[in-house]
Amino acid sequence: MSVLARRVRPEDWTPIGVDELEANAMTVVRSTGNRSVIAGPGAGKTELLAQRAAYLLQTGTSPAPQRILAISFKRDAASNLGARVRKRCHRQHAGRFDSMTFDAFAKGLLDRFGQALPERWRPSPDYEIMFPTDRGYRDFLQQSLGAPPKSVGTYADIMALTVKQFERRHLFGSPLPVDGWSEPSPGEWAADQYWQSSLHGGKKSHLSFPMIGRLAELLLRLNPMARDALRLTYSHLFMDEFQDTTQVQYDLVRAIFLGGSTIVTAVGDNKQQIMRWAMAMDDPFAAFDSDFKSKRTPLYNNYRSSPELVRIQHVLAQALDAKSVKPVSKTSATISGDSCAIWDFSLPEREAERLAAFVASEMKVHDLGPRDFVLLVRQKAADYAAVLQPAFAAAGIPLRNEAGQAGAIMLQELLAEEASELIISVLRLAMTKRAGRHWTECQEALGSLRGIGPDDEIEQDRFAKELDAYAMRLGRDYPTPPAGPGARKLIDDALGFIGRSRLVAAHPAYGQGDWLEKVLTSAATHLAQSASGTSDWTAALDSYEGLDAIPLMTIHKSKGLEYHTVIFVGLDDGAWWSFSDDQVEATAGFFVAFTRAKQRVVFTYCVRRGTRTKIATLYELLAQAGVQTFKIG
DNA sequence: TCCCAGAAGGTTTTT
DNA sequence: CCTTCTGGGA
């Protein structure tokens, strides 16, 4: 029996699952025109998008069969937003919300319409994805290119091209000319050579994601029917973390939606712009406001950090934007003593011991888990992990470098893989007691892979029995977590039940190359590692998912996350070597690190690692905010 | 194969 | 800035 999703009148709609939204947020939720929302950390930007989606879907402002498209940069951001909408909306409504990454969106367009591109720009249907490096561009410029035609320039002109300029300006700087460049400069000629060899140089084309983005933009420019179909499909477009938008991405969005009736909402924070060195636009909000005639709406609340931390944050915010307005903290302090301090150590080993002791004691005093803390570093997480890990282990707290490798794949990436998630879900169900929560989760996920409708009670019932029998059998076969080669056997067993072909059908990426095999191998390696030293399944799975460990990561990786206590290790010139190259971006990184914290921030300094003269301005900002330095030892 | 000087990397996403 | 890599020459 299917329950129809109820439609709510716009004036009766209220936010779901949260206590309140500030007035401006409600205005944006109900807005009927293009909006840019610039708001600081913890203002609830993602939540705003989730609420707006609920509003549009539930009130019929975005009526079926129209859909909402939400574009994020990272997969976890995209799936997080999708999950929030599903939690707040009826299935029928949430089914009209498409949350994906920029790259997945562009690739989808190229895969659907790419064969209609003119021959010159048409990739082979079975093109492969490549991830070019500076090195690759350099080799291309120096080795694969001969002398250009006389009309273009000389060999020396080509040799004078720098990798950065080649990539940013010539290769991806502007939309592709349909018929090629008529009077190419040396840079344009080299870029064209690169494009043509990537597209037509071998049996298969080899494309990077920026290339896919540019080709997608070109094909929608040339194909108004496809463009109009997208405009009709999507009544609304959301863009998250808009401050990090690249020119390629912006041009694609503009080519599709500028001049159409799709209503666009872009949210982000200029003060957290830390990707400019990776081709983010200088001021995408300014371009958006002017092109899309959007109205800018600020948010003033901070739902993350204590009043004291918000006060200090505001000092940093003003250094990044003199006009920034102090947000209102909606959280109260739960700790006593300093909310922020600088700890000055003599030796890194001493530092590691003291931090481990501090975390261990805080966990007891405030009843916190290891995941309530984070160790942040500027760069080279592995080097810091090597020193910190033994000290934390000695204090009984596992420490995990989130950027560490599990076989061929980065840990963080593996854990986000659907294959890994499904397998762990099955194992939780089969191996642990009181797996009630995992039951629903697992049955839903595996059932949908099998094409069993959520309302098909007979089939759901039958499948529940099958799942139960399988879980029983697996539990008997593997009473303890396998630390050796048994891990791979178990992974294959679980995958067999999930259904390899069903998984590939639902996730096309697993059909490409040997990606699925890589994921499975890494999962097995990581499971074996997690199982070593324990015979308890819950402990092994917690370790697999990192629930038992304090995370260590770079500032960049921490963007969008939040923790009770942030410990930034290494506030010195060495770690911040690039500070003077781009003071604004470096200060933005400092701001991102600081604003991950809900209750406390600790900065550590250690003479051994370097001086603190180059980054004196950061220390001055902290001093200005009243943050004190303590000599620890 | 080794040595040295100079260059490059570091901070990242993406099927 | 400091560490690691690379390429040319011995």
Q: Are residues A342 and A288 in the same domain?
A: no
Q: Are residues A513 and A442 in the same domain?
A: yes
Q: What pLDDT shows up at residue A50?
A: 95
CB burial string A480-518: b at 16+ within 10 A, e below = ebbbeebbbebbebbbebbeeeebeeebebbeeeeebee
Q: At what angle do helices A102-113 and A224-233 cross, to 10 degrees?
A: 130
Say which nucleotide is closest to residue A380, CA to C1' distance. B10
Whether A610 sits with its Cβ under 7 A from any strand C atom: the answer reads yes
- Does residue A468 lie in a domain region? yes
Q: How crowded is residue A384: how many other Cβ atoms within 10 Å of its Cβ? A: 24
pLDDT digits (tens, 9 = 90+) for A611-626: 999 999 999 999 999 9
CATH number at residue A56: 3.40.50.300
Which tokens in the block code for residue A155? 């060999």
Say which nucleotide is closest to residue A511, CA to C1' distance. B15
Q: What pLDDT shows up at residue A1?
A: 39
Whether A111 sits with its Cβ under 7 A from any strand B atom: the answer reads no
- Total of domains in chain A: 4
Question: Residue A412: is its pLDDT beyond 90?
Answer: no
Q: Give A139 CA → B5 C1' in Å.
A: 21
Say which nucleotide is closest to residue A513, CA to C1' distance. B15
Say which nucleotide is closest to residue A611, CA to C1' distance. C1
Whether A35 sits with its Cβ under 7 A from any strand B atom: the answer reads no
Question: Residue A2: is its pLDDT beyond 70?
Answer: no
Q: Give me the percent of chain A exceeding a pLDDT of 70.
A: 99
Whether A380 sits with its Cβ under 7 A from any strand C atom: the answer reads no
Q: Is the pTM of this model over 0.75?
A: yes
Which nucleotides of chain C have an atom under 7 angstroms from any protein CB?
Answer: 1-2
Whether A554 sits with its Cβ under 7 A from any strand B atom: the answer reads yes
Tell me the pLDDT of chain A averaged across its residues.
92
Chain A 163-222, CB < 7 Å to strand B: 209
- Does residue A68 lie in a domain region? yes
Q: How crowded is residue A379: how many other Cβ atoms within 10 Å of its Cβ? A: 15
Q: What pLDDT shows up at residue A533?
A: 84
- Does residue A237 lie in a domain region? yes
- Does residue A117 lie in a domain region? no
Residues A100-117, mean pLDDT to the nearest whole number: 94
Question: Residue A147: is its pLDDT beyond 90?
Answer: no
Query: Using CA atoms, how far apart are residues A563 and A305, in angstroms rounded to an integer?
Result: 10
3-state secondary structure at position A99: strand
Whether A582 sits with its Cβ under 7 A from any strand C atom: the answer reads no
DSSP per-residue letters across A194-209: HHHHHHHSSSS-EE-H
Question: Residue A180: is its pLDDT beyond 90?
Answer: yes
| Among A207, A233, A248, residue at a domain's last position | A207
Q: Are residues A514 and A366 in the same domain?
A: no
Q: How crowded is residue A170: how many other Cβ atoms within 10 Å of its Cβ? A: 21
Burial class (CB in 10 A: 0-12, 13-18, 19+), A278: exposed
- Does residue A212 lie in a domain region? no
Residues A105-130, mean pLDDT to the nearest whole number: 94
Which tokens in the block code for residue A241? 């973390």
Provide the residue type at A562 as one letter. Answer: E
| Among A235, A269, A299, residue at a domain's last position | A299
Query: Using CA atoms, how far apart are residues A619 and A49, in angstroms rounded to an integer?
Result: 36
Whether A587 sits with its Cβ under 7 A from any strand B atom: the answer reads no
Which tokens in the block code for residue A38? 């610039």
Query: Using CA atoms, how far apart are residues A410 and A239, in angstroms rounded to an integer?
Result: 26
Whether A417 sits with its Cβ under 7 A from any strand B atom: the answer reads no
Banded pLDDT at A4 (limits 50, 70, 90): low
Q: Are residues A224 and A95 in the same domain?
A: yes
Say which nucleotide is closest to residue A246, CA to C1' distance. B13
Residue with tokens 């005093």: A365
Q: Are residues A234 and A103 in the same domain?
A: yes
Q: What pLDDT shows up at residue A135?
A: 87
Q: Which residue has the higher pLDDT, A157 or A272?
A: A272
Diameter of chain A measured on Cα atoms: 76
Residues 6+ away with beta carbon under 8 Å from A458 = none
Whether A573 sits with its Cβ under 7 A from any strand C atom: the answer reads yes
- Does residue A520 lie in a domain region? yes
Whether A577 sits with its Cβ under 7 A from any strand C atom: the answer reads yes
Q: What pLDDT shows up at residue A194?
A: 94
Residues 6+ away with beta carbon under 8 Å from A30 = A10, A55
Say which nucleotide is closest to residue A135, CA to C1' distance. B8
Q: Are residues A180 and A240 in the same domain?
A: no
pLDDT digits (tens, 9 = 90+) for A332-353: 999 999 999 999 999 999 999 9
Query: Using CA atoms, how far apart are residues A469 and A193, in angstroms rounded to an integer?
Result: 59
Q: Are residues A8 and A98 in the same domain?
A: yes
Q: What pLDDT shows up at residue A65?
A: 92
Q: Give A142 CA → C9 C1' in Å.
A: 22
- Does residue A404 lie in a domain region? no
Query: Using CA atoms, how far apart are residues A220 and A113, in angstroms rounded to an integer?
Result: 9
- Does residue A214 lie in a domain region? no
Question: Residue A385: is its pLDDT beyond 90?
Answer: yes
Q: Are residues A498 and A579 in the same domain?
A: no
| Among A183, A207, A231, residue at a domain's last position | A207
Q: Which residue has the higher pLDDT, A509 or A238?
A: A238
Q: Are residues A538 and A571 in the same domain?
A: no
- Nearest residue to A50 (alpha-carbon basis) of A7, A84, A99, A16: A84
Q: Are residues A431 and A532 in the same domain?
A: yes
Query: Using CA atoms, how far apart are residues A304 and A595, in angstroms rounded to an integer?
Result: 9
Q: Are residues A421 and A541 in the same domain?
A: yes
Banded pLDDT at A3 (limits 50, 70, 90): low
pLDDT digits (tens, 9 = 90+) for A498-545: 999 999 998 888 887 788 999 999 999 999 999 988 999 999 999 999
Strands A399-401, A405-406: pairing is unpaired
Whether A518 sits with its Cβ under 7 A from any strand B atom: the answer reads no
Residues 6+ away with beta carbon under 8 Å from A247 = A172, A173, A174, A279, A281
What residues make up the domain containing A454? 410-545
Which tokens in the block code for residue A402? 């989130």
- Nearest residue to A122 (alpha-carbon basis) of A207, A41, A18: A207
Residues 6+ away with beta carbon under 8 Å from A563 = A371, A372, A373, A374, A596, A597, A598
Q: What pLDDT shows up at residue A17?
A: 83
Q: Are residues A430 and A517 in the same domain?
A: yes
